[in-house]
Structure 1
Amino acid sequence: MNQNLDTTSSAFPIFHLDNYDLRKIQAKDIHTIFAGLSHPDVIAHYGVSYQSLEATQEQMHWYEQLLLERKGIWWGIARRDNDELVGACGLNDWRPDDHRIDLGYWLLPDYWRRGIMQRGLPHILRYAFVHMNIHRVHADVEPENLASFQLLRKLGFVHEGTLRDVEYKGGRYLSLHQLSLIKTDPGVVALVQGAI
């Protein structure tokens, strides 16, 4: 595994936005994680959901295991005024031999359309390219999730195509747009240098 991902608490990368911080997800965050991953508007286009606080412990364990097993890293998006989470974003399914990783994110609906992800995701993408030696970042987006699709396009992701009826969820087949950002894509140089 790539040794660039230092997973000790003191070395966990923290990023500051205007009124929010991207920080390590902590045990105290379980209530917000459950609120998000049980909210009908969030899970409508997200691949994971939970029916109870106890079941959400599985997600908390997943965040920890990503770091311990060096398979990725996720950040909590916390309000700076009270340190309460409003969402999460991160990188998972790291394949260091192929220099690729998957991107994921979600926000509580009260915080939608505030530009939080548009300001936050460049930090973690820069982290992936610079510190994790990533060449390709991949994202899946359901076609109905137009806001997420547009966000990724604004960040420079390329729509490579759509996998038709590739998943079965909620009693119906789902298609998934496939998007990627490659280290050599136009705009990534500016991203890596911190201009975006």
Structure 2
Amino acid sequence: MSQNSQTIAATLSALDGWPLLQGPRVRLRGPREEDAEAFFALFGDPRVMRYWSRPPLTERTEAEQLLTRCRDEFAARTALEWIIADENDTAIGSCKLFRLSPPHRRAELGYALHPDHWGRGVAREATTLALDWAFCHLGLHRCDAGIDPDNQASRALLHRLGFVTEGRQRESFFVGDQVTDSELLGLLASDWRGGR
């Protein structure tokens, strides 16, 4: 492993909890048990899940399982899924760095925001916090994102953040019996720092 990838692995290992990232309107924090209801409202909403690779949640226990998975992935240092919390510390969304690969100094970005908060720049603020941490603190070289090609709002957000569309995977995932493509986007640390 290169020195940079060792530094990333060491930084991840040294975390004693989720990094708390504070923005003007939102903060990214670790998940809590009391976030289960908000997670169910988020990932059970068909508007949120329209372009995801799984159908909406139908039971609150599924949200509890998602929160358990967040904690397990953090413990294994394979992903960091933050809660996007508003000024009252209420969970309104999720922002995630996953498929963390210290040897290749890369990760993938994912996010979801409750529709009550769409169109206000909240997702941009939250993803900016996560990307700043990923590139400037963790030392990643690259961050990827994959979206349903019909998700124009997500593409617009990623392009505003500096991501570049790099390709398309045909028929790459199923939601029920429906198969869809994936649009692949990438952002380099040099692009992020140059665009700041």
TM-score where L is the length of structure 1: 0.89
User: SS state of the match for residue 29, structure 2?
Assistant: strand
Which residue in the other structure is 2:69 paired with?
A: 62
For residues 123 and 190 of structure 1, do their structure 2 counterparts lie closer, same or farther at Cα, with a shift above 3 Å needed? farther
How far apart in 2 are the matches of 1:110 and 1:144?
21
Q: CA deviation at 1:40?
A: 0.4
Q: Structure 2: any 5+ residue segments left out of the alignment?
A: 1-5
- 1:53 maps onto 2:60 in alignment: yes
User: SS state of the match for residue 190, structure 2?
Assistant: coil
- Summarize deviations over 1:31-79 as a string: whole Å, max 9, x none: 0001111100011112344221112222111110121001121111111
Q: CA deviation at 1:190?
A: 4.4
User: SS state of the match for residue 104, structure 2?
Assistant: coil
User: SS state of the match for residue 148, structure 1?
Assistant: helix
Q: Structure 1: any 5+ residue segments left out of the alignment?
A: none
How far apart in 2 are the matches of 1:122 and 1:79?
15
Of the structure 1 ranges 129-138 and 97-106, higher mean CA displacement relative to structure 2 is found in 129-138
- 1:125 maps onto 2:131 in alignment: yes
- 1:75 maps onto 2:82 in alignment: yes
User: SS state of the match for residue 10, structure 2?
Assistant: coil
For residues 91 and 32 of structure 1, do their structure 2 counterparts lie closer, same or farther at Cα, with a shift above 3 Å needed? same
Which residue in the other structure is 1:95 paired with?
A: 101
Which residue in the other structure is 1:8 paired with?
A: 16
- Summarize deviations over 1:97-118 as a string: whole Å, max 9, x none: 1111110000011110010111
Identity rate, percent: 28
- Summarize deviations over 1:146-190 as a string: whole Å, max 9, x none: 0000000000001001111111213221011000101233xx224
How far apart in 2 are the matches of 1:7 and 1:116?
26
Q: CA deviation at 1:83?
A: 1.5
Which structure has more relative contact order (CA 8 Å, sep 6+)? It is: 2
Report runs of 4+ in structure 1 exceeding 3 Å deviation. none
Q: Please, what is the CA RMSD of the aligned residues?
A: 1.6
Give the structure with the higher percent helix: 2
Tell me how many residue pairs correspond in the alignment.
Answer: 187
Within a 5 Å distance, the mapping from 1:99-118 to structure 2 comes to 99-118=105-124
